[in-house]
Structure 1
Amino acid sequence: MKAQLLKAFKYRQLIDMMYIANDGTISKRRVKILKVSGDSFQAYCFLRREKRHFKISHVLSCMPVRTKERQIV
């Protein structure tokens, strides 16, 4: 999981992730990783609209956000 997060950080990709909080609640979040340090990372969370700290061990899954460019014909 850490390798995927580091890759998203390196290429400045947005990611969708499933995250389990300390109290056991699971949420889906879209984040942009700002900093990775040790076993945690700081990211801008689009769900909460603020910078948040996340534990890498609490990330259940993550996937880069793919966007298609629209063309005007």
Structure 2
Amino acid sequence: MALERFGEDTRHMIVEASSPVDFKGERMRLFLADNGYQKVLESKKRDEIKVKRHAKVLNEYLFYDKLKQEIR
């Protein structure tokens, strides 16, 4: 279990897709404060990173965002 999850200012958890220099399919889980998450969103807009999943962290529990599903 990642101990960063229990940080007092941790509010977000993201799963980032691998970068071009990493092994294919490798993912990284990051626990971030609000200011770190804003930087991630800015990098995402510039297509520097890809965020696969996001969850809010509250009292060490993870609350995942619901994935958008296509309506058929």
Write 1 or 2 for the structure with the bigger share of strand: 1
Larger fraction in helix: 2
TM-score with structure 2 setting the length: 0.33
**TM-score, normalising length from structure 1?**
0.33
